[in-house]
């Protein structure tokens, strides 16, 4: 990572992957109206590929002759970028493939990555078409930066462990539930999250489980208390009693056969999910949560500025969790503050924020949802470690 950024080749040949159903279903018309002429003028020649089904982009990218392309650009929400990242990481030549510059144009209802790169460019917050134009402009500039990925291990009771790569988030509890439940309001665009939040607040629930992490900085503090005072001895691991109530919604990932050569970098910070976390990890004392959120970019939505300190490749997982016991009104205030990114300055006693390199979450509530980059994954124990700057993204 000695070189902070480079430029895409000119003239640039970009594969543009469009999810015709993302957001309000207007990704393609928004692109032709607002961005296509900019790309033409900037000498970005592009081939449009309209996805036909979930995982189509993932399969295409897994098989593609990448020497034909200088950039892979998605016009969609974060879900399609998740497919592309994982398609690249599933290739035999993953190490080279994941170096392919990626681009994103917001066309979905959840445009966290687009909102984040817009923010990193130093511009004032915008949304909708203005965000699209801003990201189109970044694409025309063609500056490529490294981007962190997290390697996420999923281990449900019913299947063998799997590993996926994530560029944005792991979520459990309130935020994951809102993300999934608000799918039904997809037609109202990004406002679906606001509506979903209000609906969820009315039927607030507590989620039980255990959370542990490896601090990014050993001198770090949680809640004003030195980290070491929070360490509880790691007993035997939780017995995983999770049933996957949402198994049918969960995106299926290939199990990793024990003898298969590992595609992707080894996870030096993690031990298998059925073993206790290493002794230098912190196990948080709480086991009742409203939400647990691990994010590696600044925004989790156009109006959701969750990790103000995050940058594209800081090599840090920004971990936020809210303890049970918070009142509905305080939680609502917290979400309103997150819209502006002022939540960490508010001294909310139920909110904990810590910067980590790896984490493990073991839900013990029998039912619930876990999302990775906004996509539902199998419910059960999950752990992740960050890989600093593993991918490359057209941004800045």
Residues that bind Mg ion (CB under 5 A): 296, 310, 314
| CA-based R_g, the chain, Å | 20
Choose, by CB under 6 A, the member of 28, 31, 39, 83 that binds ligand ADP: 83
Q: Select from 73-81, 130-138, 221-229, 293-301 the region that touches ligand ADP (CB under 6 A).
A: 73-81
Q: How far is the CB of 307 from ligand ADP (least distance, A)?
A: 19
Among 15, 16, 73, 76, binds ligand ADP (CB under 6 A): 76
State the nearest-atom distance from the C-beta of 110 to ligand ADP, in Å.
Answer: 4
**Binder among 51, 145, 240, 297 for ligand ADP (CB under 6 A):** 51
Rounded to whole angstroms, the Cα distance separating 139 from 38 reads 9
Q: Does 23 bind ligand ADP (CB under 6 A)?
A: yes
**Distance in Å, CB of 174 to ligand ADP, minimum:** 18
Q: Please check whether residue 134 is in contact with residue 117, taking contact to mean a CB–CB distance below 8 angstroms.
A: no
Angle at 60 between CA 38 and CA 250, to 5 degrees: 105
Count CB atoms within 10 A of the CB of residue 113.
Answer: 28
CB of 372 to ligand ADP, least distance (A): 11
Q: Which does 296 bind (CB under 5 to 8 A by kind): ligand ADP, Mg ion, none?
A: Mg ion
> Which of these, 288, 283, 293, lies nearest to 172 by C-alpha position?
293
Is residue 78 annotated as part of the catalytic site, yes or no? yes
Would you say 173 and 370 are in contact if contact means Cβ atoms under 8 Å apart? Answer: no
Backbone angles phi, psi at 80, to 5 degrees: -75, -35
CA distance 70 to 67: 8
Q: Which of residues 346-385 bind ligand ADP (CB under 6 A)?
A: 375
Q: Which of 65, 70, 78, 223 is flagged as catalytic?
A: 78
Kindly tell me which of 375 and 378 has the beta carbon lying closer to ligand ADP.
Answer: 375
Q: Binding ligand ADP by CB under 6 A: which of 20, 265, 285, 339?
A: 20
Question: Before 11, cis peptide (omega within 30)?
Answer: yes
| Torsion sign, CA atoms 336, 341, 347, 351 | positive
Reduced to 3 states (helix: H, G, I; strand: E, B; else coil), residue 176 is: helix
- For residues 99 to 118, the per-residue mask of contacts with ligand ADP, x marking binding by CB under 6 A and - elsewhere, is ---------xxx--------
Distance, CA of 340 to CA of 259 (rounded, Å): 47
Find the shortest distance in angstroms from Cβ 345 to ligand ADP. 29
| Sole binder of ligand ADP in the list 5, 13, 21, 243 (CB under 6 A) | 21
Question: What gap in Å lies between CA 242 and CA 239, rounded to an integer?
Answer: 9
Q: Interface residues with ligand ADP (CB under 6 A)?
A: 19-23, 51-54, 56, 76-80, 83, 108-110, 375
**Residue positions annotated with a catalytic role:** 78
């Amino acid at each position: 990572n000695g070189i902070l950024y480079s430029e895409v080749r000119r003239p640039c040949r970009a594969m543009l992957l469009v999810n015709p159903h993302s957001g309000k279903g207007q990704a393609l018309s928004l692109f032709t109206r607002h961005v296509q002429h900019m790309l033409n003028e900037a000498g970005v020649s592009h081939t449009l590929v309209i996805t036909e089904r979930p995982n189509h982009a993932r399969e295409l990218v897994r098989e593609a002759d990448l020497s034909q392309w200088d950039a892979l650009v998605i016009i969609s929400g974060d879900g399609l970028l998740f497919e592309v990242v994982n398609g690249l990481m599933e290739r035999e030549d993953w190490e080279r493939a994941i170096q392919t510059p990626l681009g994103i144009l917001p066309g979905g209802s959840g445009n966290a990555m687009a909102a984040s790169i817009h923010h990193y460019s130093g511009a004032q917050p915008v949304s909708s078409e203005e965000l699209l134009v801003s990201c189109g402009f970044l694409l025309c500039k063609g500056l490529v930066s490294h981007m962190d990925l997290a390697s996420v291990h999923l281990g449900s009771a019913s299947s063998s462990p799997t590993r996926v790569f994530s560029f944005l988030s792991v979520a459990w509890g309130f935020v994951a539930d809102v993300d999934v439940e608000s799918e039904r309001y997809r037609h109202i665009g990004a406002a679906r999250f606001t509506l979903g939040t209000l609906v969820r607040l009315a039927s607030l629930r507590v989620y039980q489980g255990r959370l542990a992490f490896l601090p990014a900085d050993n001198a770090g503090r949680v809640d004003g208390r030195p980290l070491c005072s929070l360490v509880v001895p790691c007993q035997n691991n939780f017995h995983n009693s999770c049933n996957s109530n949402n198994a049918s919604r969960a995106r299926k990932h290939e199990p990793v056969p024990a003898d298969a050569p590992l595609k992707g970098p080894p996870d030096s910070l993690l031990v298998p999910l059925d073993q206790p976390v290493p002794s230098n990890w912190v196990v948080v004392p709480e086991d009742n949560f409203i939400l647990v959120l691990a994010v590696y970019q600044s925004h989790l939505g156009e109006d959701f500025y969750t990790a103000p300190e995050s940058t594209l490749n800081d090599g840090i997982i920004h971990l936020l969790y809210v303890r049970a016991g918070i009142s509905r009104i305080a939680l609502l205030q917290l979400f309103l503050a997150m819209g502006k990114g002022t939540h960490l300055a508010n001294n909310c006693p139920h909110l904990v924020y810590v910067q980590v390199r790896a984490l493990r979450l073991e839900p013990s509530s029998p039912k619930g949802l876990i999302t990775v980059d906004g996509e539902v994954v199998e419910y059960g124990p999950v752990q992740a470690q960050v890989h600093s700057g593993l991918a490359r993204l057209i941004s800045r």
